[in-house]
Chain A
Amino acid sequence: MHMAKGKPSTADLRKHHALPGGHKRQLAFLMMLLPGIAFLICFSYLPMPGIIMAFKNYRLAIPPKDFWIQNRFIYSVFVQNPWVGLTNFKFLTATPDGAMILRNTVGYNLLFMVTGLVLSVGLAVVIHELRNRRAAKVYHTILFLPYFISWIVVSYALYALISTTGMFNQIARATNSATINYYTKVQYWPYIFWIANIWKYTGNGSIIYLATLTGFDQDLYEAAAIDGAGKWRQFWTITLPQLMPTIVLLQILAIGRFFNSDFDMFFSLPNGSGILRNATNTIDVYVYHALSGGSQMGYAAAGAFFQSTVGFILVLTTNMIVRRVEPDMSLF
């Protein structure tokens, strides 16, 4: 009697686990998903079919009064507008702009990827190794700060540095060298973007490496030190190999975003100076200008299509590679 009350039979247990709440619980779960589903549908899934705009000649048309779709946009894209094949993609191959945009997008991404990797890992290791822990924490807090400052505010800070009355030109005047109007000189801008990118993202990028570093087995380092390996040697033989999985994963993910660029940065830092477009135009900026200009809607749609599909293919390919090399680290 006592036994039966205290211990439920295994059959009871199995029943309990197989049907934890049954339909009622499942329904509660589904209800919880609803707000998220609404957001996902509105802002992610609804725009997806519209990607076919890249192959259409877009013109806003008014649906007939008795037609079952009354929304002008949906009617235009999915019913009215004619297919035009690959005509919209001509901007990529036929115009010098297309080559320039692709070159800028991929070039900046490569540059940012390499320097971001080296500096983030370097910063993480330095923060980790510093003897004064309290100071290390303060440094990291400060270096992480730019991540939270919008590119618009950064464009103000940049203005304070490089405008004709800015800090750089003050120094130039004080040292009797020529002043430079940076907002009209295209050759400086790759460097400006490069430094701005380092300034904003290095502290943030180092967080994941720092977290990985603190998880390492310290005995390995002690043993290496006893064997006479200096810090530099320890970095190459212990730290870097152990960081490798994280590094590889993050870089492969970055490759998936190769045709996306930091729109806010490229758009806001030049302060709308059109002379600089050779250095500042990336796919995102081009698509935005084509869209807001209104006359090159097809080009804009083609650019957007290119970005999201090539990005998608790159993510799938890289994930496949990751799964083959290191199955545990693949995304899906």
Chain B
Amino acid sequence: MVEAHQRRERAPRNEKTMNQLSKHTNLGLNILMILSCIAVLLPIWLIIIASFTEENTLKSFGYAFWPREFSTKAYTYLFSSNSIIGTAYKNTVLSTVLGTIASMISVGLYAYPLSRKEFRFRKFFAFFSFFTMLFNGGLVSYFFVARNVLNLTNSLWALFLPLSFSAFWVLVMRTFYTSAVPDAVIESARIDGASEWRTLLQIVLPLSLPGLATVALFSAVGVWNNFFQCMLLTNEAKYFNLQYTIYTTLNNIRFLKDMASSVGGNFNISVAELPSETFRMGMAVLTVGPIILAYPFFQRYFIRGLTIGAVKG
């Protein structure tokens, strides 16, 4: 799709101008798009600004587009060694790395035989994977299997193993293999006597790297943003990931605030003991930060992956 846009840009001027939007419509739509972009970015902006605002200013004047009084105290506290976010960050980074590796290996390997016509059980294993997109055992059964059969509860495995494999990624990856690697290349590798493993690792994979990158990014973002598995399968703070940690923090504060207002303000001490509002907003920023920073680099892969997977898969 990106390529298609570039092709349009290079088209000769006179050909393009024939059937274009009128200047007024174009201007109107540009304004509409700019407003939409602002609406998309504004909520994120508010969090970032709040995290750089001085605590009491935030409490008395509320959220603003620009810090009334600038402060980096929230981050000083966040980066101090005894903060709860350290463990959560470690868990999230570790599970994201492991989960991404697990996805690349399992999906990359599973999709290849399905892309080869000479694999005898191709149809069966394609269905074996695809069927899981249509039917599942439901949450309750899944929970008990994960807890009582697989013993995943309260472990780091719980944060990424359930998310490592997906039939949809297999579809995407298989499409990449069939479209990026010509049959003739594989045939010639075989005539040269390469084993199937060697063909895959040395010839097919290097040609399918964009596909593998798509799967890796899907998986990484999925594990990084995951909150449900953590909530379902862990109850010890040392296994919590970032998303679940900031979820519980926001909830605690709200609960105490409700209590404080209904009882009459005798809860000030316990509220003060909890991470303050700017601290929490800083946590949200640190949670979403890596994604926003990496986003410009990975979004084109995502677009390509989604397009190919959805159109052809």
Contacts and interface: CB of A to CB of B under 8 A. Distances in A.
B141 A133 contact: no
B44 A148 contact: no
B36 A139 contact: yes
Contacts of A242: none
B76 interface: no
A293 interface: no
Given A36-B129, A222-B19, A271-B250, A51 B141 contact: yes
Interface in B219-278: 221, 224-228, 232, 243-244, 246-247, 250-251, 254-255
Interface in B178-214: 190, 195-197, 200
B83 interface: no
Interface in A275-332: 284, 287-288, 291-292, 297, 300-301, 303-305, 307-309, 311-312, 315-316, 332
Contacts of B145: 42, 46-47, 50, 73
A36 B130 contact: no
B interface majority secondary structure: helix
A32 B200 contact: yes
A263 interface: yes
Interface in A17-42: 17, 20-21, 24-26, 28-30, 32-40, 42
A167 B165 contact: no
Contacts of B75: none
A211 B102 CA distance: 30
A307 B250 contact: no
B125 to A, nearest CB: 6
A130 B21 contact: yes
B12 interface: no
How big is chain B's contact interface, by range?
A: 35 or more
State the main secondary structure of chain A at its contact with B. Answer: helix
Contacts of B295: 145, 148
A96 interface: no
B19 A37 contact: no
Contact of A73 (B46, B63, B149, B164): B149
Interface in A180-198: 183
Interface string B121-137: 10001001110101111
Interface stretch (A99-107, A110-118, A158-166): A158-166
A237 interface: no
Contacts of A84: none
Given A40-B128, A143-B37, A165-B63, A35 B110 contact: yes
Given A33-B109, A73-B148, A159-B250, A208 B170 contact: no
19 contacts: A29-B119, A34-B109, A36-B165, A39-B106, A40-B132, A45-B132, A51-B137, A143-B36, A143-B37, A149-B225, A152-B284, A153-B246, A157-B43, A183-B254, A203-B40, A264-B228, A300-B140, A304-B139, A308-B137
Across the A-B interface, give the 10 residue pairs with the lowest CB-CB distance, nearest first: A304-B138, A50-B141, A36-B110, A47-B137, A157-B43, A39-B165, A73-B148, A165-B62, A28-B196, A150-B225
Given A26-B120, A153-B246, A215-B4, 5 more contacts: A40-B165, A153-B243, A156-B250, A211-B1, A304-B140
